[in-house]
Amino acid sequence: MIGLFFLGCISLPSIYWVISTIYRYFAAVPSCINQRKIRVINPLLLYENGLYSEDEKRLCTAVKELSKAEGLPRTPVVGIELSDDNPNAFAVGATRSYAMVVVTTGLIKQLNEREVAAVMAHELGHIANLDTMAKTLLSAALDGVMLILFTPMLLIVWHFGRFVALLMLAAGLIYGLFGNWQHATVFLVGVLVWIILMMLPTITKSLVTLLTFWHSRWREYHADAVAARLTSVDDLVSALAILDRLPFQPPKQNREQMATLWIRVAMKEEVGTFHWLKHTHPPIHKRIEALRRGLYLR
C-alpha cells in the first residue's frame, strides 16, 4: 500500500506534467494570439488584395527578407499587438519553423522603418538561437520539479514529519537542560533537516529563477548581435536608445511570463553588487556598449 501510494504521488503528477508541457510547447503561438489582441499577418497571404495595409506588408516583407538572410527554414508569423501603445516587441515559438514575432503599435509609431527592422531582426535572433524554445523548456522543467518531486515530498514531510520534528525538538531541549549536549545535538540536527526539507522547494525555485534571469540576460546580447549583423549596429543602437528614453508600462496580462520575452523591461538605475540578479535583461546602455565594441558578433 505504501508503495502504491508513492507510485501514485509521482506517476499522476508526471503524466499531467508531460501533457501540459507538450501542450505549452506546441501551443505557444496560438495561446499568445488568443490571450493578447494581436493582428496576425500571414506571410503566405501577404499579397491578397485588400487583406493587409501597406505598412503591414512592409513589416512582413522586412521580416521575410531578414528570415531568409538568417537562414530560417520558414518565415515566422508576424503579429501586431493593436491595443498596446507601449513600444515593445517579442518572439514566441517552439522551433525555428514554428514561431511568431510580435511588435506593438507603440513601437511602430515611435521608430522609423529601419529601426523597426532592427528590432524585428533582434526577435528573429531569439528564434534562430532557439531562445524561445529554451525559455519554454526551462519553465516547464521548473514546473515539473515542483509538481513531481516537491509536492509529494511536502505532503509527507508536513503531515507526518512535523510530529517527529516536534518530538525531536522536545527531546533535544530536555537533553540540553540536563547537560547531555551530545544527544541534544543529534535531535536538534534532525529538526534542522526537517526545516531544510520544508524550505527546499522555495530555495530550488529561487535558484531556477536566477538561472532563468541569467539565461535571459545572456541571450539578449546574442540576439542583439544577430540584429546588428542582419541590419546594422547604428540602426539597432538608435532603436535601443529611443526605447530607453521612452516610458515603460509593464503588461497587464501574464506579466511574469512576458518579462523574459520583451526586448526591453522596466529597469531603474540602481547601485549594489548584486542588484542585476533581479532583472531579466541587461541595462540598455550595456547592450549598446557591447554593440559598439563588437562583442558577441560573429
Rounded Cα–Cα distance for residues 198 and 57 (Å)? 55
- Pairing outcome for strands 77-81 and 99-104: parallel
Averaged pLDDT of the chain: 81
275-298: average pLDDT: 82
Cell (9 digits) for 264: 526591453
pTM score of the predicted model = 0.81
In this predicted structure, what is the pLDDT of residue 35?
76
Catalytic-role residue among 113, 123, 269, 289: 123
Give tens-digit pLDDT for 183-227: 888 888 888 888 888 888 888 778 878 888 888 888 999 999 999
Q: Residue 130, Cα to own-chain centre: how many angstroms?
A: 13
21-37: average pLDDT: 73
CA distances from 98 to 23, 136, 171, 280 (A): 14, 14, 61, 24
Q: Is the sign of the CA dihedral 28, 30, 35, 41 positive or negative? A: positive
Determine whether 70 is an active site residue: no
DSSP-derived secondary structure letter, 76: P
